[in-house]
């Protein structure tokens, strides 16, 4: 699914922008201007904060497509190529900045014609009415993306959610969602506040949603403090959970030729020699701490602390779900971590 499509000039200034789904700001594209101002190459494909950026360099322009996740990367790249071809056919000239300044309306018309609500235009399914031994189950998964300051508090915060269905029937289902949700989009067909589900032998995604800067406390807070002393680095990591977390893994790379000394208040901690990674596993803990010493002759301040956790039967978005299908069996709710990274505070 495509969220946005932009055309940038060689300095990184946005000349054309079209947002099919809300949730992105101009500040999210400042990275392009920063790279170009330093004469750094722009990678053709990279991800940031739950979005996948597809960059196509063409003449003196950069055409940038933003996809909701990696499975749409190739699809968005094909859309970009197709839109360029349609523009050149309709304007009878090659795409470049000077020509686009005169015919920008043609480019916008092509975008409007080819993409609606983040999806290419398509025909609805052929419906089936066979309901023999019919049943339907739903699964909701949420991912929390957070950028944390060095003091451990969030600086940028968002929630991404997906609704999956496992159905042996075909039925209209009503969806009621929180008023905090920025947008609702579907891989399939939305009619008002309804979507269609199709028979399947496994869970398939039928709905995605996005919440920017939700007014909730993060489920996990870490306060990692690293201090350089003689012959190495001494560190402490304080862990606090504000939710009932079933499991949580805290890990970071340890760039040293010698194994670190580690001690945890609770949970299990180990050093993986093959990956030079410290791994701290916690189960159903509210508060805990990890201390250690890393033998090192030099200071490496590029260390980041990664967190992976899972909360069953709970959603941070308070996503409301209502079904009129009497054959519905269950709803599985799970919150998982997304891009969840802490930068240590160095003393």
User: Any idea which fold 2-120 has?
Assistant: Beta-Lactamase (3.30.450)
Query: What values do phi and psi take at 57, rounded to 5?
Result: -85, 125
CATH of 220-311 among 3.40.50.300, 3.40.50.10680, 3.30.1640.10, 2.60.40.1170: 2.60.40.1170
pLDDT recorded at residue 166? 75
* pTM of structure: 0.52
Class of domain 136-216+316-336: mainly beta
**CA-based nearest residue to 291, from 259, 249, 262:** 262
What residue segments make up the domains of the chain, in order of their start?
2-120, 136-216+316-336, 220-311
> pLDDT value at position 174?
46
User: Which three-class secondary structure state does DSSP give residue 64?
Assistant: strand
Same fold, 136-216+316-336 and 220-311: yes
d(CA 202, CA 90): 43
Per-residue pLDDT of the chain (347 residues; tens, 9 = 90+): 788 888 998 888 888 988 887 667 777 777 787 777 767 777 888 877 778 888 998 999 999 988 877 767 777 888 888 889 889 988 888 999 999 999 889 998 888 887 764 454 433 333 333 444 556 677 788 888 877 776 666 777 788 888 777 766 544 444 444 434 444 443 333 434 455 556 666 677 777 777 777 777 788 888 888 888 888 889 999 998 877 788 889 998 887 778 899 999 999 999 988 888 899 999 888 899 999 999 886 656 777 888 888 887 777 776 655 555 555 556 677 777 666 777 778 87
């Amino acid at each position: 699914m495509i969220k946005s499509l932009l055309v940038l000039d060689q300095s990184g200034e946005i000349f054309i922008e079209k947002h099919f789904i809300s949730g992105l700001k101009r500040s999210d594209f400042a990275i392009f201007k920063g790279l170009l101002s330093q004469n750094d190459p722009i990678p053709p494909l990279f991800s940031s904060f739950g979005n996948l950026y597809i960059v196509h360099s063409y003449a003196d322009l950069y055409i940038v497509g933003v996809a909701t996740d990696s499975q749409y990367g190739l699809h968005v790249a094909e859309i970009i190529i197709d839109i360029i071809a349609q523009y050149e056919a309709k304007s009878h000239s090659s795409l470049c900045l000077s020509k686009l300044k005169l015919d920008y309306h043609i480019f916008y018309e092509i975008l409007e014609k080819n993409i609606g609500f983040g999806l290419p235009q398509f025909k609805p399914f052929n419906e089936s009415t066979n309901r023999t031994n019919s049943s339907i189950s739903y699964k909701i998964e949420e991912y929390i993306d957070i950028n944390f300051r060095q003091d451990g508090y969030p600086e940028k915060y968002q929630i991404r959610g997906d609704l999956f269905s496992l159905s042996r029937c075909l039925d209209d289902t009503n969806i009621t969602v929180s008023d905090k949700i920025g947008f609702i989009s579907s891989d399939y067909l939305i009619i008002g506040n309804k979507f269609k589900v199709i028979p399947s032998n496994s869970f398939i995604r039928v709905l995605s949603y996005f919440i920017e800067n939700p007014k909730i406390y993060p489920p996990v807070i870490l306060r990692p403090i690293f201090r350089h002393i003689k012959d190495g680095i001494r560190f402490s990591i304080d862990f606090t959970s504000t939710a009932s977390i079933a499991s949580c893994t805290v890990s970071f790379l340890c760039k040293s030729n010698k194994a670190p000394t580690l001690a945890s208040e609770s949970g299990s901690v180990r050093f993986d020699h093959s990956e030079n990674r410290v791994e701290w596993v916690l189960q159903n803990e509210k508060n805990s701490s990890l201390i250690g010493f890393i033998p090192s002759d030099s200071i490496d301040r590029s260390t980041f602390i990664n967190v992976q956790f899972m909360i069953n039967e709970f959603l941070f978005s308070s996503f409301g779900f209502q079904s009129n299908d009497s054959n519905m069996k269950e709803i599985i709710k799970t919150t998982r971590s997304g891009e969840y990274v802490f930068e240590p505070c160095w003393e």
